[in-house]
Amino acid sequence: MKNKILKNPLSFMETNPVIIKKTYPVATHKVWKAITDKDQMKEWYFNVDNFVLEEDTAFNICEIGDEKLCHHRCVILEIVPEKKFKHTWTQLSSRNRLSVLTWAIEPAETGGTRLILKYEYLKDSTVAEKDISKNDNEIEWEKLLGTSLNNYLKNK
């Protein structure tokens, strides 16, 4: 029997989610592969060590470069093929700050594919708001999804 708290680790915590919605002019399966295939993720996102697309498995998100420093530890919580990919996102450099990322994919009404990223993170009263702000997270995810992923999918 699976631990229900693991499946929704933030259910009992106060969160301040960032929600980013983007539409891409490509088929759903292409967006799915871009966010769940280790080799494709490395092209637009980050290097992901030990990545296996299977629930309850852990992986690391590392810098792309010679040092390959790992910054995040993740555990896959839920997979619904070509629809939903949900995992934890523990920031190792920020006192193991816990977050959960949910990637939801659906056909767009105007054609193409709509991606909705929900980034839920625990509000930590011991961390100054200027150090880790919701606005900073929105800016970074907007860059990743609006520029990096968008450009990657255009060239696929």
User: Quick one: average pLDDT of 33-46?
Assistant: 95
pTM equals 0.82
17 pLDDT band (50/70/90 cuts)?
confident
Domains and CATH numbers, the chain: 4-154 (3.30.530.20)
101-142 confidence digits (pLDDT tens): 999 999 999 899 999 999 987 765 555 444 456 677 788 899
Instruction: Give the pLDDT score at 99.
Output: 86
SS3 assignment for 118-148 = EEEEECCCCCCCCCCCHHHHHHHHHHHHHHH
Most confident of 28-37, 70-79, 125-134: 28-37
pLDDT value at 50 more than 60:
yes
Predicted confidence (pLDDT) at residue 45 exceeds the cutoff of 70? yes
Q: Is 74 exposed, middle or buried (0-12, 13-18, 19+ CB in 10 A)?
A: buried
Q: Does position 49 have pLDDT exceeding 50, yes or no?
A: yes
Q: Cβ neighbours of residue 67 under 8 Å, at least 6 residues apart? A: none
